[in-house]
Amino acid sequence: MRGETARRSQPIVSRFSVVLVAVAAIMWATDVYFRSQLVTHLTASQIVVAEDALITLFVLPLLFSRWSEVRGLGSNGWLAVVIIAVGPQAIATVLFTASFAFGNYQMTYVLQQTQPLIAISLAWLVLGERRRPWFWAAVFVAMAGVYMVVFAPDLSSPLASLKSGQLLAALEALGAAVLWASGTVLGRVALSRISFPAMTGLRFSLALPVLVAIVLVQNGIGGFSHYRPTDLVPNLLAIALIPGLLALLLYYRGLASTPASIATIAEMAYPVAITLVYFIPPPIGFGKQVLPFQIVGTMLLMAVILVLNWSKEQPQPAVVTRREPKLAAS
């Protein structure tokens, strides 16, 4: 009764924080259509650096308006933000995209299924989060649902894919999973010091120099000469605003009220959404046939997300505070 009263006293956004994280993850999948128009003449790093530069232009005024929060971030907060900007925002995106260059897409998706397990482990080690025993059953059901959606045409195909996969592609996909999992956990650390708009602004602005350096190393100064006027509107602008800025703002608002070990399950809505894009009619999707396993898998994942949102133990609110955050529970 007391828990129900506390839940009702929360702002409605906080009560549905797990759903917000899932919605943000679904929004990340909307870049499939726009990104497909760019990969014909731009590399992964060229696309990501242009996207990040556009978002930085939008978030700089927001960041300056909250500069007092940034100044009080503290050493642990700065460490978390810098790792997020360099790892999950810059390097992980390039690694994940590069793993597709080998053509073994299924292996990439198989190894991405390790991300929730890595994030849950890091949340236990770094944040001291503990979950009830039934939570692991929910993790299994969610991962099974994602597996059915992604591999519906042939549920046994990942076994053959892993046997024939290239080592470099596997390491790239696994590296991206580790970095994204760490981003979820470290996001909780940073959000104990600053608000979600400031966190979003720092993530993109600090990642920009790293991405510029990656393009220069890969292509030299000529790497910035391949853009076309038609790339900006609608493709780059759409990627920057919808799966970029708006999705990350929504994600960090949800994460501020959600334990990292639960948020990582909600993030599994991303591979489900990106797979189902192929079944949306053109011009947004590819008009493929929806398979029964994909319907069942989607329903399982959505059910787990709703159950976790309803039953989650409320974490300590991630609000701006003047004391140094702890990296582990005392």
For residue 40, give the DSSP letter: T
- Does this model's pTM top 0.85? My answer is no
HSE toward the beta carbon, residue 179, CA cutoff 13 A? 22
pLDDT at res. 273: 82
pLDDT at res. 216: 95
pLDDT averaged over the chain? 82
CA–CA dist 246, 300 (Å, integer): 26
Which 3 state secondary structure label does DSSP give 256? coil
pLDDT at 316 exceeding the cut of 90 = no
- pLDDT (tens digit, 9 = 90+) per residue, 161-189? 555 556 677 788 889 889 999 999 999 99
CA–CA dist 13, 276 (Å, integer): 27
Token duo for residue 206: 């600090």
- pLDDT more than 90, % of the chain: 38
Which 3 state secondary structure label does DSSP give 181? helix
pLDDT at 96 exceeding the cut of 90 = no
More confident residue, 329 or 71: 71
- pLDDT (tens digit, 9 = 90+) per residue, 79-93? 999 999 999 989 988
Of the candidates 147, 56, 42, 34, the residue with the CA atom closest to the CA atom of residue 94:
42
pLDDT at 214 exceeding the cut of 90 = yes
More confident residue, 97 or 129: 129
User: Of the spans 6-10, 100-104, 234-238, which averages the highest pLDDT?
Assistant: 234-238
Sequence-ordered list of residues with C-beta below 8 angstroms from that of 75, at least 6 positions apart, any chain? 324
Instruction: For Cα atoms 271, 174, 309, give the angle at the middle one, nearest 5 degrees.
Output: 40
Q: Is the dihedral of CA 169, 176, 312, 123 positive or negative?
A: positive
- Return the exposure string of 264-303: e unless at least 16 CB atoms fall within 10 Å of the residue's CB, then b: bbbbbbbbbbbbbbeeeeeeeeeeeeeeebbeebbebbbe
CA–CA dist 84, 92 (Å, integer): 10
pLDDT at 9 exceeding the cut of 90 = no
Check if the beta carbon of residue 25 is closer than 8 Å to that of residue 243: no
Check if the beta carbon of residue 326 is closer than 8 Å to that of residue 80: no
Token duo for residue 231: 């790339």
The residues spanned by each domain of the chain are 10-310
